[in-house]
Structure 1
Amino acid sequence: MVVEIMVLGVGATLSMDLWALLRRRWFGVASLDYGWVGRWLGHMRHGQFRHAAIAKAAPLRGERLLGWGFHYLTGLLFAAAFLAWGGQAWLQRPALLPALLFGVVTVAAPLLVMQPAFGMGMAARRTPKPWLVRQRALLTHLVFGLGLYLSGAALAWLG
């Protein structure tokens, strides 16, 4: 099951990253700076879990690498949770709807944990356009779900 978790987690997270790249090129929409994620994590060791504005918090050495590593670790943990829920049967016959629904569930992480910790408020309520931020987060996490499905279909196809 470890290999399957790795393939699903990395595949789904890569799908999100590809979506972010395409969104930036086609629509000029910036994606999350994973350096901020690393900055947030790095400040935790000093007891600071929330920031008024993460972009204004003191930068930390290696924050970008830490943030990107955490991004992929999160993808792996989400994949493990998905397989714990969907089980071996889903791996043998991947279905799109459960993967998309799980992607929707994962949007709780940025809306309820990261955005408040970054100073954006619960579900981005302190941003200039909270509904736009929420919509983009939902779409990105639906792409994560699509990536789960595509990675699962590839695994099933390969045998």
Structure 2
Amino acid sequence: MFENLSHPLNLILPAIYIGIGATAIMDVWTLFLKVAFNVSGLNFAMVGRWIGHMPRGKLMHQGIVNSSPIANESIIGWTAHYVIGIIFAAALLLVFGVAWLNSPSLTPALAAGLITVAFPFCLMQPCFGMGIAATKLPNPHITQFKSLVAHSVFGMGLYFSALLGNKLF
């Protein structure tokens, strides 16, 4: 699949494929936790609400759930979730390139997944009104742990999606 990717722009299709695959694996994990253990994940409508308020000049919220709803916030949030997954996959590919694509290994993918947890910890959770790494929540360690696990699963998804891509294409 990934033999003729000498130019960085040629990494776009693999980034899309791998990003969607990794994000879907993360979502299946989240669904499993919900069905098997009643453990809730991120409500992507709140991501859409956050994004929807940005053009109105509002980035920071006291509590995103208390902010006014945005039309189509669920669609916006889910779309953003997958676009962000593609962007993170593209970043991995830009760092490790074709060599990693042709012979994926778990360590760079898992490291990339763990690095991406900085975005919810340092950007989204503070902007949602939760504080850095959810420290304003009553039990921040639970949210922190769930984020770390979810992003580790995303990292494994990057790896497995690249492996599957090599087999299919």
The TM-score, its normalising length taken from structure 1, stands at: 0.98
1:120-131 equivalence runs, <5 A: 120-131=130-141
1:52 to 51, 54, 62: 62
Aligned to 2:56, the other structure's residue is in SS state coil
Once the two structures are TM-superposed, the CA of residue 21 in structure 1 deviates from its matched residue by 0.1
Q: Which runs of 4+ in 1 moved over 2 A?
A: none
Equivalent pairs counted in the alignment come to: 159
1:110 aligns with 2:120: yes
Once the two structures are TM-superposed, the CA of residue 128 in structure 1 deviates from its matched residue by 1.0
Task: Return the alpha-carbon distance in structure 2 between the equivalents of residues 135 and 61 of structure 1.
Answer: 31
CA deviation map 1:124-159 (0-9, x unaligned): 000111111111100000000000000000112234
Task: Return the alpha-carbon distance in structure 1 between the equivalents of residues 31 and 146 of structure 2.
Answer: 13
Structure-2 residue corresponding to 1:34: 44
Task: Return the alpha-carbon distance in structure 2 between the equivalents of residues 116 and 27 of structure 1.
Answer: 27
Structure-2 residue corresponding to 1:16: 26
Task: Return the alpha-carbon distance in structure 1 between the equivalents of residues 88 and 116 of structure 2.
Answer: 8
Gaps of 5+ in 2: 1-10
Task: Return the alpha-carbon distance in structure 1 between the equivalents of residues 150 and 116 of structure 2.
Answer: 10
RMSD of the alignment, in Å? Answer: 0.8
1:94 to 104, 107, 128: 104
Gaps of 5+ in 1: none
The TM-score, its normalising length taken from structure 2, stands at: 0.92
Once the two structures are TM-superposed, the CA of residue 28 in structure 1 deviates from its matched residue by 0.6
